[in-house]
Structure formats: structure tokens, C-alpha cells
Structure 1
Amino acid sequence: MRKPQSVRALEDLGRVRLSENFFMRDFLHSEIASLHGMSNIPDDPDLAIAAGARLCGAVLEPLMAQFGRISIRSAYRSAEVNAFGNANGFNCGRNETNYGGHIWDRRDARGAMGATACVIVHALIPYYEGTGRWEALAWWIHDHLDYDELEFFPRFAAVNINWREAPRRRIHSFIPPRRGVLTKPGMPNFAGRHDGEYAEWLASL
């Protein structure tokens, strides 16, 4: 598929079904693009579709099947939109660090395909607001899903979920007081099951 150059072509891209419950259009909204008159459209739609389909199939669909509704906070960014966001302090990393991340239509430095979506898991909100324990969702994903990297944020415990070829499986948080790396390969808490970390949350659902 070529990069859309017309409304009809963009509609066709948006109607591509990535998985049972998700279409490409669900991931194309960008506040940066909307406010600053930019187009948030993949240069390589086929690569973006392939990466997005893997993200949906491996992570978002099973997450929704287990916990119900999820909201997409941000997802695909064109290289242009991401570079503008980085240059203007809009919490976007450098393009080179976002290839295979929010920039779905570029492979990363290792040549790996990947895609990121920032989502809110609605079932976590009451538990998180009552206990502050975002780690319950982090460990459940770690034990059950094929993710590459998770990054948690304070508001509603929104999480950047990345799927990538050759996953690194690293969890990081920006939520005080436990900012920093929760786990990654080589840390003592990485291996094995972590059922006790999310048992209380699951019991509350």
C-alpha cells in the first residue's frame, strides 16, 4: 500500500483491520498533529500495518479479553510528528529511539519491527487509585504476554506497551515513589511467576 494522498486512500488505510477488535484508524489520532496542522500518516503503511497487527494480536487483544475495556491514549506517530514533539518538549523521545516504537513504519537500529501504544486499562483504575499499585498490571503482563517494553505513567497508570521482534522484556515506571526499572533480564525478580503481585487486584475484580 502506498502512503495515502487522498481522503479516500486514508479512509482505506483506516479501515484495515489489525485484529478482531482494532482497526488502523484507532491508532492514528495525535493531539500534536491535530493542534499543529500536521498529518499523522505512515510513510510505509505496509510495515505499520504488520507491526500494528502484531501489537494487537500479541498484547492488546489478550489484555482486553482478560480485563475488558482499554482506552488508547496515544499510539502511532509519523517521523515528522514525533520529531516535532521531541523538539518542542511534548514528551516524545528522539526519532532514533522511537523507531519500532511509536514510529511503527521504521525498523529500529537492530532491524527489528515493532509498535507501541499507550493504553489505560479501565479495570485497574479503582485498584490503582485505592492502593497506588501499578505493579499489579505490570507483573500480570510480564507473566502472560509477549511484550518488549512497558513504561508506566502516573495518570490512571497509563502504560506504553511495546511489541517488538526479539523482545527485551523491560519494565520501567515514571510513577513515584517507585520510579525507574522494575525488572529486566538479569535482575533477581525477572524469572519465574509473580502471581502474588497481582492476586489481590484480580480478587477485587
Structure 2
Amino acid sequence: MKKPTSVTSLTEFGRVRLSKTFFMRDFLFSDIASIHGFNNVPDDPDLAIAAGTRLCEDLLEPLQDAFGRIAIRSAFRSAEVNGFGNEMQRAKKAGYSCASNESNYAGHIWDRRDADGFMGATACIVVPSFWDRFQAEADWQKLAWWIHDHLPYSSLYFFPTYWAFNISWHERPERRIDSYTKPVGCLTKPGMANHEGSHAAEWAGIVA
């Protein structure tokens, strides 16, 4: 598939169904693109579709099946959009938090493989039903451990507002959880004593 360059071709691209309930258009909105007039579309649509399909089928659909509707906060970013966001972040402009393009390949930049040639995709999401029930400090860990025990994620990164988090699918999954909300830092990664085995005691009762 060629890069969409017209309303018609972008409409058709947005209609690509990635999974049971998700379409490509669900992942294309960008605050940066909207404010600054960028076209947030992939240079390699086929790679973006392939990576996005795995993100949706392997991670987002199972989450939605278990917890109800999930909300997409930020997902695909073109290299142009992410690069601009990183420039603003490095200039310490408020509201911009994009990492470098190189570190976001196979992350938020779905249509580029990482330095090792692997594909991946990231979305920042909110699980409203979870937030409505669990708002005490560190409650985000309940959801983190549920995902760790049930889904083939690569990385999770949690934020304070609504317990939003980046969830990543990757061909070579890292299996690491970090947080910008309390307790800040790494919850688990390979090699840590808490990484293996069941964590059912940590997430018991969160699924209706």
C-alpha cells in the first residue's frame, strides 16, 4: 500500500480493520499534528498495519474483553510528528514528551523497524472501568500485574492521570513495567526476583 496522500486514500487507509473492534483510524489522531498542521500518516502503511494488528489482537482486544471499553490517548506517530515533539521536549516546551525517533522506532512509530530490524507498536491507553474502581495510590500496580500474568506485552509505562499507560507489542518482547506515578521507577523486569510466577494476589478482584 502506498502512503496516503489524498482524502480518498487516507479514508481507505483509516478503514483498515486491525482486529475485531479496532480500525486504523482509531490510532491516527495526534494532538501535535492537530495543533501544528502535520499529516500523521505512515510512510510504510503495510508495516504500520502489520505491527498495529499485533498490538490490537494480542493486547488491546484481550484487555477490552476483560475490562470493557478502552480509550486510546495516543498511538501511532509519524517520524515527522514524533521528531517535532522531541525537538519541543528537548527545548523544554510544556506539553511535549516525545522521546527521540530512534528510541521510538517500533514503538509509537509503527512504520519503522528498530535498530535490530524488529517491528513493534505502542499505544497510550486508559481503562476507564479500572480507574473508576481503583484510585488509591499505587493501585495502578493491580492492572500492571494482571497484564503481566495474562498478556504477551513488551513494555508498560504508567502515568498519574487516570492510570493511563503506554502498552507496547514487540517481536522481541522486553517484559518490563515502569511508572511515572508512585511508586516511580521499575516495577519489574527480567532478572528481578518478582518477575516470574503468578501475581494473582496482587490483582485479585479487579476483573468483574
Give the TM-score taking structure 2 as reference length.
0.95
Q: How far apart are residue 131 of structure 1 and its match? A: 5.1
Q: Which digits, 9 at most, give the CA deviation of each residue in 1:88-128, with x for residues without a partner? A: 02100000000000000000111110000000011211233
Q: Which amino acid aligns with 1:93?
A: A
Given the alignment of the two structures, is residue 108 of structure 1 paired with residue 142 of structure 2, yes or no?
A: no
Q: CA–CA distance in 2 between the matches of 1:98 and 1:83? A: 10
RMSD (Å), alpha carbons: 0.9
Aligned to 2:199: 194
Aligned to 2:36: 36
Aligned to 1:174: 180
Q: Which digits, 9 at most, give the CA deviation of each residue in 1:54-82, with x for residues without a partner? A: 00000000000010010000000000000
Q: CA–CA distance in 2 between the matches of 1:146 and 1:110? A: 20
Aligned to 1:78: 78
Q: CA–CA distance in 2 between the matches of 1:172 and 1:131? A: 15
Q: CA–CA distance in 2 between the matches of 1:42 and 1:55? A: 16
Q: CA–CA distance in 1 between the matches of 2:32 and 2:141? A: 30
What are the within-5 Å matches in structure 2 for residues 128-167 of structure 1?
A: 128-130=134-136, 132-167=138-173
Aligned to 1:185: 190
Q: How far apart are residue 200 of structure 1 and its match? A: 3.7
Query: Which stretches in structure 1 are left out of the alignment for 5+ residues?
Result: none
Q: How far apart are residue 166 of structure 1 and its match? A: 1.1
Q: CA–CA distance in 2 between the matches of 1:75 and 1:38? A: 15
Q: CA–CA distance in 2 between the matches of 1:57 and 1:43? A: 23
Query: Which stretches in structure 2 are left out of the alignment for 5+ residues?
Result: 90-95
Q: Which amino acid aligns with 1:194?
A: H
Q: Which amino acid aligns with 1:180?
A: G
Aligned to 2:133: 127
Aligned to 1:118: 124
Given the alignment of the two structures, is residue 10 of structure 1 paired with residue 10 of structure 2, yes or no?
A: yes
